[in-house]
Amino acid sequence: MSEIATSSPSTSLVNAKWDVVISNGIVKSGLGFGAGVLASVLFFRRRAFPVWLGLGFGLGRAYSEGDSIFREAGIREVKA
């Protein structure tokens, strides 16, 4: 059986989107978390709440971008 030469099979359309969403989620929440830790160390005498806040921001950003990826609003094209 020779290979089908299409770029991506139609069966994996949704899965490709999931990949993008999850990786984007990890990156964004990680960024938020990091920013929270930095803020906590620098400004808040190592208190916990800035970390939670940053994580929340990251997750929220990841959620909104994931939403628009599924709705195909095209926030930005990320090739899986």
Partner 1 sequence: MFRAAKFHPAARQAMYGVRLQSTIPIKSAKKSRPFRRFLFRLSMLTATFYLGGGFIATKNDTVQDLFEDYVPFGDSVVSTIDYYLYHKDELLNPFSRVNDSFAEVKEKLGLEKTITIPKQGVQSDKVELKEAPAAGSTEVAVGRSLPLLHLESGDEVIDSTVNALNELIAALNLKVTSFENHKVVESLQKSLLLLAEKYRAISLSKSQEQASLDDKLKAQLSQKEVELTEEFVQKLEEAKKQIEERHLQQLRVEVEAARQKIELEAANLIEQTKLAAIDEFNKVISEKIDSERNAKLKGLDALAARVAEIEKYELELGKSAGAYLSYKEIKKSISSLQRLLSTNETSPKRGEELVAELTKLKQLVAPLDNQLITEAVAALPSNDKLLRSGGVLTQSQLISRWELLLPELRSVSLLPPNAGLVGHISSLVFSKLLFAKSGKPVKTEDELIGNDIESVIARVNTYLVKNELDNAVEEVSNMKGWARRLADDWLVESRRKLELQFLIDLVDTEVNVSL
Please give the residue ranges that form the binding site for partner 1 (CB under 8 A).
1-2, 4-6, 9-11, 13-15, 18, 21, 63, 66-68, 70-71
Of 45 and 73, CB closest to partner 1: 73
Token look-up 């930005």 returns 76
Of 52 and 70, CB closest to partner 1: 70
Of 16 and 53, CB closest to partner 1: 16
